[in-house]
Amino acid sequence: MSAKYIVPFAGLPDTTPIETPEPLPECLQALRYFRILATEFHERPDDEVCIWLEMTTPIVAPQFFRAMYLQALALLTAHRMKMAEMAQDEADGIHPVSSIKEDGGSMTFAINQPSLSMDNATLMLTVYGKAYLEIRSKMVAGPIM
């Protein structure tokens, strides 16, 4: 239970007790970025997204991304969630169509092996991974002399 404290009103002593506000979740800032950048996951509960954000946090270095850290974290988390979704679709036998002949008689399905690896080819499989790569490519690794 929250501790109670007294809030003065207009400089006058007030004895009205109010509840201490509950602390905000640790991932709130990153979650706000995630909700803006990855609207396709709007139905996923905050708790689930926060777990994904926590799992991705060790991979994204705040010292490297500096001011772009929260955006990079949100994008890489969305990429990993999308890749997990794609892997589940593959397991369920759902394959995206890669080509259809004009007469409609032939259809080719894209069968690839999605993974959670961090190589550039894997990052290129989602719009989130591409955006993450774009941010990463613009970061300077060290001080400019």
- Residue 135's pLDDT is what? 94
Q: How far apart are alpha carbons 137 and 64 in whole angstroms?
A: 11
112 in a domain, yes or no? yes
54 in a domain, yes or no? yes
89 in a domain, yes or no? yes
Asked if 49 and 37 count as a contact pair (C-beta separation under 8 A), the reply is: no
60 in a domain, yes or no? yes
* E strand or H helix that includes residue 100: strand 97-100
- Residue 42's pLDDT is what? 95
72 in a domain, yes or no? yes
Give the domain range for residue 82: 26-138
Residue tagged 């941010």 (tokens): 135
pTM comes to: 0.66
> Total structural domains in the chain?
1
Residues lower than pLDDT 50 in the chain: 1, 5, 97, 107, 109, 111, 113-116, 145
Q: How far apart are alpha carbons 67 and 88 in whole angstroms?
A: 34
- Residue type, position 57, single letter: T
